[in-house]
Amino acid sequence: MVYQRSSALFAEARKYIPGGVNSPVRAFKAVGGDPIFVKSAKGAYLYDEDGNKLIDYIASWGPLILGHAYEPVIEAVIEKAKKGTSFGMPTEVETELAKLAVNMVPNIDKIRFVNSGTEACMSAVRLARGYTGKDKIIKFAGCYHGHSDSFLIQAGSGAVTFGSPNSPGVTQGTAKDTLLANYNDLESVKELTKANKGAIAAVIIEPIAGNMGCIIPSDGFIKGLRELCTQEGILLIFDEVMTGFRLGKGGAQEALGIDADIVTFGKVIGGGLPVGAFAAKDVIMDHLAPDGPVYQAGTLSGNPLAMSAGLAMLTELEANPKVFKSLADKTAYLHKGMEEVLVKNGVPHQINRYGSMMSVHFTDEPVVDFASSAKGNNDTFKKYFHGMLRGGVYLPPSAFESYFLNDALTYGDLDFTIKALDNIVDELK
């Protein structure tokens, strides 16, 4: 494939945008080469500025669960845009989306819309601190909850890919209130709670992690976390920016059968437009301004275009819950096919999968946390990424990212992807 125009556009972008991108993982730092500039997309396919067609496995990092340019979503946005794009005032569609989300997700009474997953997680932690009167939080190495200061302590995904897991600009004062535990290691959490008795407001976690690749919680880990938080008077925050409305109507809470105290959302809830949200029971949400003392605000929060897109998306998902099984079945099919190719050719690997999330790690060891994810062979991953790209398949340009399948993918697309891997597998040995 030829990428002359993408390379030229990247060179031009670097003159005016730091690194030529507005989010670091897009810069291909982890895999080398110049990023692909997209011109358009439809269904399961991307069309780049050089005229190449690519099968897409990132789905805009998760929200396009039904595929690109899904007609009901596009129509909803167009019709709403004709009436105005932003008012800084309440609109009926905000309540419509809130009511639908509350009815779909277990264990929440109210939801507040914001503009991104970062903002949702930042606000959830502030609410937890305000509700409990405590300062410290526990996060897990490799889990990424956005780029606010409290979370850039061994963050996963973009922070690791970019090589700055502890970002300059985060003060020591902020860092001291963020305690770091190991994913799938309940004992590490117990040690922190014991050493900081009565000082921890919340534990925040990706219940199924997606920012160190797809990492599945071990048996009893999330249940044990729930029990520990209840015992210690700590709020449990599920970061469902990736998993919310993707693993099922009720997200990870429903899939795992575990209730969180606060849940954050993003991605799917905006149908591909910038949006985030956080939600909880009344007893917690009533501490939020204007009803309570915990302040959070945003001129573009509840933006009518984003709300309309989200309402169209969630309406489709509620009406057709079979889509979640369809997605999971397609992901399992892709997993099986890729595994057969890699095993047959003796390529050391691990494939992790949960629902419609999946990742491939080039290592002999099971990948269960950040440390084991970091042991993957990045040189092999680079060959894999670029080989698949040459074959017409666009994967996340980082070994620390999950794949997100969309339901517009056909089994023919999956077979094409498996064949593309078979064509390059000798390069991976």
Catalytic choice (29, 134, 267, 330): 267
Strands of 262-265's sheet, edge to edge?
Answer: 110-114, 276-280, 262-265, 235-239, 200-205, 136-140, 178-181
Backbone angles phi, psi at 411, to 5 degrees: -65, -25
The whole-angstrom separation of Cα 209 and Cα 189 is 17
Please say whether the beta carbons of 415 and 331 come within 8 A: no
Is 239 designated active site? Answer: yes
Question: Choosing from 45, 144, 183, 384, which is the catalytic residue?
Answer: 144
Asked if 93 and 101 count as a contact pair (C-beta separation under 8 A), the reply is no
Alpha carbons within 13 angstroms on the beta-carbon side of residue 387 total: 18
H helix or E strand, kind and range, residue 111: strand 110-114
CB 101 within 8 A of CB 314: yes
Angle between helices 322-344 and 411-424 (to 10 degrees): 20
In total, the chain counts a number of residues equal to 429
Concerning whether 177 is annotated as a catalytic residue, the answer is: no
DSSP-H helix ranges across 374-410: 378-390
134 has catalytic annotation? no
Nearest-CA neighbor of 122 among 114, 134, 133, 110? 114
Extended beta strands in 254-317, E state: 262-265, 276-280
Q: How far is CA 163 from the centre of its chain?
A: 19
Enumerate residues 6+ apart whose C-beta is below 8 A from 370: 140, 141, 142, 154, 156, 182, 183, 212
- Strand segments (E) across 15-77: 38-42, 45-48, 53-56
For tokens 């601190």, the residue is 129
Euclidean distance between CA atoms 132 and 129, whole angstroms: 5
Candidate list 239, 369, 407, 413, residue with the active-site label: 239
Residue 157 CA to residue 143 CA, distance in Å, equals 8
The residue with tokens 């008077």 is 233
Q: What is the DSSP letter of 268?
A: G
Active site residues: 144, 239, 267
